[in-house]
Amino acid sequence: MNERIRLPDGTVRHLNDSGECADLIQEIGVEYAAASADGRRIDAERWAKAYDDAFALLPRLMIADLIEEKSKLQPIKRHAELCADWWLDLNRADRGCQPTEVSPAQRAIIAGNQFAPSSWSEAREAIDLLHEFRVPDSLRFYQAEGKARDLCQAAKGLELAIEASIDALSRAHASRDAWAGFQNGAYQQYLKARGTFEFAMEALDA
């Protein structure tokens, strides 16, 4: 998403995300403070208007950022689900409960390929070629499965927090009170959910 804003000094800024918008709001605040301190009232009022204009763009840009973040969660969550099911298979096989037929977890991973294994062992040999389905060296099968399921739950929690933030942001442009409500409510829950998700990602990479 790209937003365009013209500033009192004649420059035009193109904003691609909420981070750039937040930085610009800070810059405008500095210009406003300087103009006010120098007694340049007209300049100060022009910068104040620019501040309001930039601030009005922030919710829209944040919504676009959150929608993009949510779309990136889908493949991460799906991969974690596949890993968890596959590593459960491996854990059972490690304990002497190895199946003979191709398992649902294997079929889900192999789906879309021409390869058609005739047994669980043959499917395992093929899946072992895929680096992204290998158990991290520091973890045992059951540990890896648990961490993958933790990541699935964390991703689902972050999805819900993103949806709540988008809903709150759709009303945040109405007033400064609505914006404050978003920052103190949905946004804090989003930050918490994002922290949980990042921790789960790091734990699985350990």
pLDDT band, residue 206 (cuts 50/70/90): low
pLDDT per residue over 124-160, tens digit each?
999 999 999 999 888 899 999 999 999 999 999 999 9
Cα–Cα distance measured from residue 78 to residue 62, given in angstroms and rounded to the nearest whole number: 25
* pLDDT at residue 136, rounded to an integer: 87
* pLDDT at residue 36, rounded to an integer: 95
Q: Domain ranges for the chain, please list them.
A: 3-205
- 197 pLDDT higher than 70: yes
Cα–Cα distance measured from residue 206 to residue 204, given in angstroms and rounded to the nearest whole number: 5
* pLDDT at residue 166, rounded to an integer: 94
b/e sequence 14-50, b meaning 16+ C-beta within 10 Å: ebeebebbbebbebbeebbeebeeeeeeebbebbbeb
Cα–Cα distance measured from residue 158 to residue 173, given in angstroms and rounded to the nearest whole number: 23
Q: 6 by DSSP, 3-state: which?
A: strand
Cα–Cα distance measured from residue 96 to residue 91, given in angstroms and rounded to the nearest whole number: 9
pLDDT band, residue 174 (cuts 50/70/90): low
Residue 7's identity, in one-letter code, is L
